Amino acid sequence: MFKKSTDKVYHDVMLDIETLGTDTDAVVLSIGAVKFRLDTRDNQETLDDESRSFYAVLDVEDQGRRGRKSDPDTVEWWQAQSRKARSVFNEEGQEVQGVVAALSVFLKNVRRVWGNGNMFDNAIVQSLFEDYDEDYPVHYTGDLDLRTLTYIFNSIKKAFKRTIRPAVKFKGTEHNALDDAKRQVMEAQSMFSFLQGPKYYGYERNRDPNPYSK
């Protein structure tokens, strides 16, 4: 599923989940996670490196027996999504205990976990860990929020709306947990490079290291 050799290179993980609710105890349909560095610029090819990624579809019924909940409004929302996005419902859910244990190993040497935002993805995953008696391996100070970075990025650019992210060249299925995590990695790296400026990456003063900053 992944190689431990990546632990010494990547200390950040982008986490994305798909759920049947919005509360902390929501049933989790799928989990996608990608190891990355803020100070580099990934592309579709580098993000397809399986040693850096984690993906699992979870058993829904087992979570229900543990008291996790589905929200009718979220279930209805799913009906309006694309056929590709809804294909997650056709995949066989894996044993949740095993998924949680594997994700714990994947996150073992990680310093920071990014969520969109951290009170959704991160909080729900931590709740899932608790329900299945698994220790969440990341220190609480390492829970970071992509929405906060987006707000700062937009504030510096003086954007009227504070939720605009840079366009990135990535092909994937919206609301597929792993594809969304990969896209969010590229967005985070693009925003970070813009905020750091050309000198951080050793570019010439008259050269923009971020093609999405305009």
Question: Measured between alpha carbons, how far is 70 from 74 in angstroms, rounded to an integer?
Answer: 8
The pLDDT of residue 187 is 95
- Given a cut of 70, whether residue 182 has pLDDT beyond it is yes
pLDDT tens profile 59-88: 999 999 999 999 999 999 999 999 999 999
Residue 79, amino acid: Q
* Cβ atoms of residues 3 and 51 within 8 Å: yes
Q: What is the mean pLDDT of the chain?
A: 88
The pLDDT of residue 196 is 83
The mean pLDDT value for 123-152 works out to 95
* Cβ atoms of residues 160 and 124 within 8 Å: no
The pLDDT of residue 66 is 96
Question: What is the residue-wise DSSP string for 68-97?
Answer: -B--HHHHHHHHTS-HHHHGGGGSPPBPHH
The pLDDT of residue 170 is 85
* Cβ atoms of residues 74 and 21 within 8 Å: yes
Lowest mean pLDDT among 78-82, 98-102, 199-203: 199-203
- Given a cut of 50, whether residue 202 has pLDDT beyond it is no
The mean pLDDT value for 139-145 works out to 94
Q: Which residue has the tokens 């209805």?
A: 76
Alpha-carbon torsion, ordered 203, 209, 213, 214, to 10 deg: 80
pLDDT tens profile 25-48: 999 999 999 999 998 999 999 999
What is the set of domains in the chain, with CATH numbers? Answer: 4-197 (3.30.420.10)
Percent of the chain with pLDDT over 70: 86
Q: Could you tell me the pLDDT band of residue 167, with boundaries at 50, 70 and 90?
A: confident
Question: Measured between alpha carbons, how far is 87 from 178 in angstroms, rounded to an integer?
Answer: 14
Residue 183, amino acid: R
**Which secondary structure element, helix H or strand E, spans residue 123, and what is its range?**
helix 123-131
